[in-house]
Amino acid sequence: MEHIKRYHRHVRQGKNGPLAIEGPIPPETLRNYRLHDALDAFRRPKEQHAALIEISELPEGRIIAAVDGDTVVGYVTFHYPDELERWSEGGMDDLVELGAIEVADEYRGQGISKALLATAFEEGQLDNVIVYTTEYYWHWDLENSGLSVWQYREMMENLMKTVGMVWFATDDPEICAHPANCLMVRIGPDVPLASAEKFDKVRFRQRFMY
C-alpha cells in the first residue's frame, strides 16, 4: 500500500518567539536539527535524535516536530508496531502506531501536542491506515504535571480525540493491568472493512470477549 506523506509547515507564536510545527520531516532535515535537552522521557536526547532519524527513514515512518530555530522541542512519531508486540501479529501494512509524543517542559501549555497531531493528520494523509496508540500510566509525567492518574488519562484521551481517535476495548494484558491504561484508535475513512476486522482479531485473543 502507499504511505502518503504530505509535508506541512506552520509557524505560530510561542512564549519565546516563533515556533514551527512541521512534518513529516525527511531524514536529511532532521539530521540538521538537535533535540532539546529536556526531551529525555524515552532515551538520552542524542540517542533519541538518532532513533527519530531512523523512524523518518522508514517507508511508513513519520516524525512531526515543533522546532525552535534548529532545536526540536516537541515531536510525535508514527511507525509500524514493534515485531515483539501483539499489534504486529496481523501482519497489517495499514496498521500504524502513534508511538510517542513528547514536549519539552518549558514549552508545555501552549497547545503544541494538539498542533503536532493536527499536522500529522492534515490533508487526509493518514486516511488509508488504522492509527492506534497504547496509553500506559507508567509512561506519564505525573510528577511534573501535578495531575492525578485519572486527570492525566482524561487529558490524553481528550488530546487524541482532537484527531478522531477514540477508546477501543482490548484484552491486551498490559492495557488491562491498570484501569487508567487505554487503547485509542482511528480507523481512517479509506481503510477497507477487511483490515478493520483483522484489527478486531488482533485486539482480542480471547474469542468470548470478541
pLDDT score for 88 = 95
pLDDT score for 142 = 87
Please answer whether residues 88 and 130 qualify as being in contact, where contact means their C-beta atoms are separated by less than 8 angstroms: no
pLDDT for 43-61, tens place per residue? 899 999 999 999 999 999 9
pLDDT for 182-207, tens place per residue? 999 999 999 999 999 999 999 998 76
Mean pLDDT of the region 169-173:
95
Asked if residue 184 is part of any domain, the answer here is: yes
C-alpha span between 52 and 162 (Å, rounded): 24
Asked if residue 83 is part of any domain, the answer here is: yes
Which CATH number is 195's domain given? 3.40.630.30
pLDDT more than 70, % of the chain: 98
Asked if residue 2 is part of any domain, the answer here is: no
Rg (CA), the chain: 17
Asked if residue 94 is part of any domain, the answer here is: yes
pLDDT score for 209 = 46
pTM over cut 0.85: yes
Task: Compute how many other C-beta atoms are within 10 angstroms of the C-beta atom of residue 137.
Answer: 17
Asked if residue 1 is part of any domain, the answer here is: no
pLDDT for 101-113, tens place per residue? 999 999 999 999 9
C-alpha span between 159 and 153 (Å, rounded): 10
Asked if residue 210 is part of any domain, the answer here is: no
182 is in which domain, residue-wise? 8-205
Average pLDDT, the chain: 94
C-alpha span between 95 and 129 (Å, rounded): 6
Asked if residue 157 is part of any domain, the answer here is: yes
Mean pLDDT of the region 2-31:
95
**Residue 157 pLDDT exceeds 70:** yes
Asked if residue 42 is part of any domain, the answer here is: yes
Mean pLDDT of the region 156-171:
96
pLDDT more than 90, % of the chain: 87
pLDDT score for 94 = 98
Q: Residue 185: in which H helix or E strand, if any?
A: strand 182-187
Query: Number of folded domains in the chain?
Result: 1
pLDDT score for 207 = 60
C-alpha span between 67 and 154 (Å, rounded): 27
